[in-house]
Amino acid sequence: MASYKLNINNKEYTVEAEPQTPLLWVIRDEVGLTGTKYGCGIAQCGACTVHLNGAPVRSCALPVSASASQKITTIEGISTNNEHPVQKAWLEVQAPQCGYCQSGQIMSAVALLEQKPSPSDQDIDQAMSGNICRCGTYHRIRKAIHVASKEINNGSK
């Protein structure tokens, strides 16, 4: 076991873990932030997506030792009041079905819109291709990203 200092959602945590422990389990079991989900455990579904220094990463495949002293953001950290344009758009469009994949979908969408505030359908399909939804909500997710994009662009004028 080793001790790691993690910066999650702008808060410092010190955790004890084996170096290869996936960040996902540290976030969920040690820190208690359970919005990030376990789907496949092999970096194939996107349910566990968090941001590392602003970029989307699969926390099931990221060792805690590689995450120390970097800026980690989970679904709980994208807004303080559920008022992020992506969260609002998800509600407006009623994007989720069972909901299981959706925190990962939202994290990928937030990262996309930070890189590209006005993504095309092709940009969206490319950026979201690693996030699997077994309920097939892809059309609503794409629509929600366009809704969020509009709000982000209106807000920046």
**Bridge partners, residue 17, by sequence:** 2
Q: How big is the site for ligand FES, counted in residues (CB under 6 A)? A: 23
Q: Is the dihedral of CA 123, 124, 125, 128 positive or negative?
A: positive
User: End-to-end distance of the chain based on CA atoms, in angstroms?
Assistant: 50
Site for ligand FES in 99-128 (CB under 6 A): 99-102
Burial status of residue 55 (CB atoms within 10 A of its CB: 0-12, 13-18, 19 or more) = exposed
Residue 52 contacts ligand FES per CB under 6 A: no
Out of 50, 60, 109, 128, the residue judged to bind ligand FES by CB under 6 A = 60
Piece of 2-10, 27-35, 73-81, 91-99 that binds ligand FES (CB under 6 A):
91-99
3-state secondary structure of 30: helix
Which is nearest to 90 in space by CA: 108, 116, 73?
A: 108
By C-beta, is 6 or 107 nearer to ligand FES? 107
Q: Which is nearer to ligand FES, 129 or 153 (CB)?
A: 129
CA distance 157 to 26: 40
Instruction: Using the rule CB under 6 A, give the single segment among 63-71, 86-94, 96-104, 144-152 that binds ligand FES.
Output: 96-104
Which residue ranges make up the site for ligand FES (CB under 6 A)?
38-41, 43-48, 58, 60, 96-102, 133-135, 137
